[in-house]
Amino acid sequence: MNFKSALVAIMGFAAVVSFAAPPKTWDAIYNAEGEGDYAAGKIDGNIRFGKYTHYKEVQPVSFRVNDGLFQFSVAGNMTVPAQKIEKEHFYDTCNDTKEAWISYFNKPRTFKSGKTEHELIINIAGVDLACGNDLYAIADIKLKFDNDKAHEAWTNEIYGREKYRREKVVEFRRAEQEHRADLREKSGFFTDPRDGQSYRTIKVEGREWFAQNVNYEVEGHSWCYEDKDSYCARSGRLYDLEGARQACPEGWHLPRDREWMDMITGLTHCYEGVDKCEAFAKKMKATTGWHGGGGTDEYGFSVFSSGYRKIIGKSTVRYEDMGEYAGFWSGQNGRNETIWLWSMGRMSDQMVRQLVPGNAKVNGYSVRCINGN
């Protein structure tokens, strides 16, 4: 993700840093069992705020989402630290971003409007407003669907029945906001001089790692999931092996297999081998971005489910497993040409090490970088 922060001094801290984590996911609140999803929707027109002279932390907000299956207006309140509004051109940043992230159940329904039929999603569990790289949960939410029949269905079938759980989702999202703020406070940042993108970093056993997926474009060898920019902004780019070897900036490199092992050992303090460490994957996973619930991100490593890009035959491209899987390239160990992939799935308790066959080196996976030679 592109954090618009200046390069700050890297903070020295212990090998394992604990961060406060949200207690649940919205999937858990709804007992969704992986049926729900979380996706970006474009905002049409300006975002309207109840601007205050004295920068109150609770901000009335309204906007219209107009993006494919999402066609509705939103009104509600969002909680923003007053100093952020005062110092960081907050309103302009939100209106430059023009994006909402929507928690929903991904089964569209068909509604008529005159002689035209529209497929729309109306089972909305929550809406967050994106302002730059921050997300703000909309509380006391009111929705007005553009299609009258869709709005009638929302009002009669969903609004009152699910109100309590939507309020619980807002509580969870606010806990996430605090968690992200805690991560940033205890982390360092590195700004890539090639394109100005900034990445949160953490130190493990004295080595500095990117705590976000790389989003640097390597032409012809890197892609956004489903070729959508919003996925790159959320979870970085997917690289083939050649692209992965060019993805890290000068002074950083693609972690070698041994460095992945050392990092996991340093985070978990499990010294019996990563295949014998129990249930550490949940502590490495980001709190959102996984179907059926995210992790606790206790280590601040923030593994986001980025899916992967698969080449079938000579030229057929398929994107798979967003929300279900995250895979990371490793670099060569000396002259050994064996390449390993480090990955975890939605149900994984561990991060597993997979041998990459020659024909899979054109597939696209995520990249993290480590400082030093």
Rounded to an integer, what distance in angstroms lies between the CA atom of residue 137 and that of residue 168? 11
pLDDT confidence band for 351 (50 / 70 / 90): confident
Rounded to an integer, what distance in angstroms lies between the CA atom of residue 189 and that of residue 198? 7
pLDDT at 29: 80
Between residues 282 and 12, the one the model is more confident about:
282
Q: Please, are residues 195 and 45 in contact by the beta-carbon 8 Å criterion? A: no
- Of the candidates 241, 232, 246, 224, the one whose C-alpha atom is nearest the C-alpha of residue 328 is 241
b/e map 102-131, b = 16+ CB within 10 Å: bbbbeebeebeeeeeebebbbbbbbbbbbb
Q: Please, are residues 349 and 279 in contact by the beta-carbon 8 Å criterion? A: yes
What does the mean pLDDT of the chain come to?
Answer: 84
Rounded to an integer, what distance in angstroms lies between the CA atom of residue 310 and that of residue 320? 7
Q: Please, are residues 239 and 254 in contact by the beta-carbon 8 Å criterion? A: no
Most confident of 24-28, 53-57, 175-179: 175-179
Q: Is the pTM of this model over 0.85?
A: no
% residues pLDDT > 90 (the chain):
45
User: Across residues 326-331, what is the average pLDDT?
Assistant: 95
Residue type, 102: I
Bridge partners (DSSP) of residue 106 are none
pLDDT at 1: 40
Count, residues in the chain: 373
How many Cα atoms are found within 13 Å in the side-chain-facing hemisphere of 39?
Answer: 18
Instruction: Give the model confidence (pLDDT) of 120-178 as tens digits.
Output: 999 999 999 988 778 899 999 999 999 999 999 999 999 999 999 999 888 888 887 88
Instruction: Give the model confidence (pLDDT) of 355-364 as tens digits.
Output: 888 888 999 9
Reduced 3-state DSSP string for 290-313? CCCCCCCCCCCCCECCCCEEEEEC
pLDDT above 90 (res 34): no
Q: Please, are residues 94 and 121 in contact by the beta-carbon 8 Å criterion? A: no
pLDDT confidence band for 52 (50 / 70 / 90): low
Residue type, 339: I
pLDDT above 60 (res 6): no
Sequence-ordered alpha helix ranges (H) in the chain = 26-30, 82-87, 90-97, 148-153, 163-186, 229-235, 241-247, 257-268, 281-284
Rounded to an integer, what distance in angstroms lies between the CA atom of residue 226 and that of residue 206? 37
Instruction: Give the model confidence (pLDDT) of 87-120 as tens digits.
Output: 778 889 899 989 998 989 878 999 988 888 999 9
- Of the candidates 193, 347, 309, 202, the one whose C-alpha atom is nearest the C-alpha of residue 263 is 202
Instruction: Give the model confidence (pLDDT) of 308-321 as tens digits.
Output: 999 988 889 999 99
Q: CB under 8 Å to 22, separation ≥6 — which residues?
A: 172, 175, 176, 179, 287, 296
Rounded to an integer, what distance in angstroms lies between the CA atom of residue 341 and that of residue 307? 13
% residues pLDDT > 70 (the chain):
87
pLDDT at 8: 29
pLDDT above 70 (res 341): yes
Q: CB under 8 Å to 300, separation ≥6 — which residues?
A: 17, 19, 183, 186, 187, 200, 202, 211
